[in-house]
Amino acid sequence: MDMIFSVLDATLRVSTPLVLAALAGLFSERSGVVDLALEGKMLAAAFAAACVAYIAQSPWVGLGAGIAAGMAVAMLHGMVSITYNGNQLISGVAINMMVSGVTPVLALAWFQQGGRTPTLSDEARFTAIDLPFADAIAHSPALKTFFGHNILVYLALLLIFVVSWVVYKSRFGLRLRAVGENPHAADAAGISVKGVRYMAQAVGGALCGVAGAYLVLAQTGAFIQDMTAGKGYLALAALIFGKWRPWAAVLGCLIFAFTDAIQIRLQGVELPLIGSIPDAFIQALPYVLTVVLLAGFMGRAVAPKAIGVPFVKSR
Amino acid sequence: MSQPANMPRWASLWLMPLLNLFAALFVSGLVIALIGEDPVECLKLMINGAFGYPEGIGYTLFYTTSFIFTGLAVAAAFHAGLFNIGGEGQMYLAGLGVTLVCLQFDYLPAYVVIPLAMLAAILFGGAWALVPGYLQAKRGSHIVVTTIMFNFIASSLMTWLLVDKLRMEGSQTPATREFAQNAWVPMLHEWFAPLGVELPNTPLNASFFLALIALVLFYLVVWHSPKGFVTRTVGLNEKAARYAGIPVDKVIIAVMCVSGALAGLAAINELLGSTHRMNMGFTNGIGFVGIAVALMGRNHPVGILLSALLFGALTQGGLDLSFEKPAITREMIIFTQGLIILFCGALENLFQTPLSAAFKRMLKNQ
């Protein structure tokens, strides 16, 4: 029983940054801009959050810095993709390489600890929040699984509701989807395609900022070189897995996080019938699932129609 | 990708890449200045490290060799309108093919085992690109996303194989045993020694000539063969190609296989030319550099040779620089590569629009 709760507990912790990044990608891609840069946005945010939280000794200031960094990288991606009509795929790849390269250089120059930042003290991190009935929680693994987390986990949970409301029920959401499906029709209806796309980048950048800050402020306590380790791409995979819909994408994130959580516990364990599974297979599972889905063997994943196409106003 | 809008040919072929390169170097210089080093001094150290002494040149050309192969891989796919971002995984899997051949057959003479290893590199690299190619052609799955996923799958697969299956007995590091000397591609300094030419001891090996041959073949196939014509037609206008009766699906699959095979040949240079064993993560970003090489080289063999040389020099010069200036690590080069990809591949309108306007004005005044 305890094992089930510890797996669920780990699933929640691992899925939080994935969920945030997948929701970020949802905004960008629903607006018609491919977002391979999720990885770079998260990594930049993690670095900024680590530096600023260390100097300010406050997780909230660190979170703010992370959000600002995520948005700054998103604006670069937006400038290339929206203003200069550049190739969005190449922009994403380039941004990921740039961030992956520049962060350890700056970390080394500023903190002289190799490619990482100093470890944060507890005051500068997000720790499990104290609830009035803390005593009850301490004795029950079931309650601890759901109530023993830091505030960002609950923020992510709340954001799922907010995002799905915004995308499907709000005026901005309607415009967002219109711009991603048929920008020329949206343009004819008087919507600023570029404006909506920039807005989507800004929101996505902020969400990636929270995701990156979470990695440092709630998990490792320091920036480590390439610490996102493919989480941006994993979030993108979850987004595709969820066919560009918020709840389904979150489900994808939970499945991926769950496989990650059981992987650690399955190491060397002999399962009935199958024997022991090498962790590499479980690690590769999300990517294999995404390919299978993309191949149309598990229902069709149809991308927003205008995705990847720069909008050039017709005259 | 980009239209040579209203610009003389020399400007779009030479001026634009150079402008983009300078923009990328300028931004790198800003970051170097930000961390308190002198960008001009660093540039001098880098150029000296890459070209200033014989060993430096040898290493530069060694890196250039791998970049030519991965650059050609990306360019081949580009000509069919495909963005193959999976060179890294294709090269990694090709390394597996090379390793399997060498571990089994490296008692055979060199003229048997090296061609066998090359064949394995081509087959394994091509096969790893076949699946994304097939899915793109037949099921419409986006090649960029599938090749990214295949990079991750390759990485997991190879970690498992190297840790659990191929690791040398009694060793802790995830690497195979050293291949027997029969499987080593001859080093150039060994080749030239009997002729009385003294070359420095560097990993530069005969794969360099293979890369040059590949460049020439690439030119001939793409621009002077029916297959190349068909490929470029698909790349320029898939619908027109289909209407003209070209089997677009087959072309896409075949081009992806060729692309993967080219990326795979980079594994020969690394494994049989230098390390002589398979280490975990031996590809080390070479597949991604291929994207930058192809974009900067405008998918043309001459451009690819020059930009591979540039990236070879950046890699070697950057390593030398990091010895002189410990603050500027190898990651600085990754940053510069990213910038070059950004400026050449996605931000070409930044300079192209004002430049073509300027040329238009000049022509009007004449």
The residue segments making up the domain with residue A200 are 2-294
Residue A289 included in any domain: yes
DSSP conformational letter for B275: I
User: Structure pTM?
Assistant: 0.89
Q: Which residues of B touch A303 (CB under 8 A)?
A: 142
Look at residue A195 and tell me if it is in a domain.
Answer: yes
Residue-level pLDDT at A301: 65
> Would residue A9 count as lying in a domain?
yes
Residue written as tokens 């240079």? B269
From B169's Cα to the closest Cα of chain A, the distance in A is 19
The answer to which of A140-149, A228-237, B263-272 has the lowest mean pLDDT is A140-149
Residue pLDDT, tens place only, B47-68: 999 999 999 999 999 999 999 9
Inter-chain touch A294–B145, beta carbons under 8 Å = yes
Residue A300 lies in a domain: no
Tokens of A179: 């711009």
Record: contact B295-A90, CB cut-off 8 A: yes
Q: Quote the CA–CA distance of A287 and A285 in Å, as a whole number.
A: 5
Which of A90, A288, A290 is facing B346, going by the closest CB pair?
A90
Which candidate from B34, B331, B335 shows the least CB-CB separation from A115? B331
What distance in Å separates residue A259's CA from the closest CA in chain B? 14
Q: Would you tell me how many other CB atoms lie within 10 Å of the CB of residue A268? A: 7
Interchain contact B246–A (C-beta under 8 A): no
Q: Which of A33, A73, A81, A90 to mutate to test the interface with B (most CBs of B within 10 A)?
A: A90
Q: Assess contact for B118 and B265: CB atoms under 8 A.
A: yes
Q: Which amino acid is present at A110?
A: W
Domains of chain B as residue ranges with CATH? 18-347 (1.10.3470)
Q: Which residues contact B53 (CB under 8 A, 6 or more apart)?
A: none
Question: Which of B153, B329, B346 is facing A94, going by the closest CB pair?
Answer: B346
How would you write chain A as a 3-class SS string?
CHHHHHHHHHHHHHHHHHHHHHHHHHHHHHCCCCCCCHHHHHHHHHHHHHHHHHHHCCHHHHHHHHHHHHHHHHHHHHHHHHHCCCCHHHHHHHHHHHHHHHHHHHHHHHHCECECCCCCCHHHCCCCCCCCCHHHHHHCHHHHHHHCCCHHHHHHHHHHHHHHHHHHHCHHHHHHHHHHHCHHHHHHCCCCHHHHHHHHHHHHHHHHHHHHHHHHHHHHCCCCCCCCCCHHHHHHHHHHHCCCCHHHHHHHHHHHHHHHHHHHHHCCCCECCCECCCHHHHHHHHHHHHHHHHCCECECCCCCCCCCCCCCCCC
Could B160 and A296 be called an inter-chain contact, meaning their C-beta atoms sit closer than 8 Å? no
**Structure-model confidence comparison of residues A295 and B100, the more confident one:** B100
Contact indicator for B339, B69 with CB cutoff of 8 Å: no
Q: Does A237 touch chain B (CB under 8 A)?
A: yes
Please tell me which of the candidates A85, A109, A230 has its beta carbon nearest to residue B36: A109
The arithmetic mean of pLDDT across residues B171-176, rounded, is: 85
pLDDT at A63: 94
- In angstroms, the Cα distances linking A274 to A4, A288, B139, B345 are 20, 19, 31, 47
Asked if residue A203 belongs to a domain, the reply is yes
CA distance B25 to B337: 10
Could you tell me which chain B residue has the CA closest to the CA of A106? Answer: B35
**What's the pLDDT tens digit per position in A58-100?**
999 999 999 999 999 999 999 999 999 888 988 999 999 999 9
Q: Is residue A315 part of a domain?
A: no
Region B170-176: mean pLDDT is 84
Which among B135, B149, B331 has CB closest to A101? B331
The pLDDT score that the predictor gives to residue B4 is 46
Q: What's the ipTM?
A: 0.88
B314, B335, B337, B349: best mutation site toward chain A, by most A Cβ within 10 Å?
Answer: B335
Q: How many independent structural domains does chain A possess? A: 1
Residues 30-49 of B with CB under 8 A from A: 31, 34-36
DSSP B177: P
Probe site for chain B from A96, A228, A277, A291 (most B CB atoms < 10 A) = A291
B-chain residue closest to A112, CA distance: B327
Q: CB–CB of B324/B45 below 8 Å?
A: yes
Q: Who among A101, A109, A283 is closest to B338 (CB)?
A: A101
**Which whole number is the average pLDDT over A217-230?**
90
pLDDT of residue A142 exceeding 90, the answer is no
Q: What is the average pLDDT score of chain B?
A: 90
Which of A144 and B227 is assigned the larger pLDDT? B227
| A88–B141 C-beta distance less than 8 A | no
What per-residue confidence (pLDDT) applies to B349? 83
Q: What is the pLDDT of residue B171?
A: 81
- Is residue A156 assigned to a domain? yes
CATH of the domain at A145: 1.10.3470
* 8-state DSSP, B319: H
**Residue B139 near chain A (CB below 8 Å):** yes
Distance in Å, alpha carbon of B148 to nearest chain A alpha carbon: 8
* Interchain CB contact of B199 with A (< 8 Å): no
Q: How far is B201 from chain A (nearest CA, A)?
A: 30
Please check whether residue A165 lies inside any domain of the structure: yes
**Which amino acid is present at A250?**
V
How confident is residue A211, by pLDDT bands cut at 50, 70 and 90? very high
- For residue B5, is pLDDT > 60? no
Instruction: Judge whether A96 is closer than 8 Å to chain B, CB to CB.
Output: yes
Residues of chain A numbered 108-167 and touching chain B (CB < 8 Å): 108-110, 115
Local confidence band at A51 (pLDDT 50, 70, 90 cut-offs) = very high
In this prediction, residue B3 has a pLDDT band, given cuts at 50, 70 and 90, of: very low
pLDDT-derived band at A150 (thresholds 50, 70, 90) equals confident
Q: Looking at the complex, report in whole angstroms how far the Cα of residue A311 sits from the nearest Cα belonging to chain B.
A: 14
Q: Which of these, B120, B81, B129, lies nearest to B260 by C-alpha position?
A: B129
- Would you say A92 and A35 are in contact if contact means Cβ atoms under 8 Å apart? yes
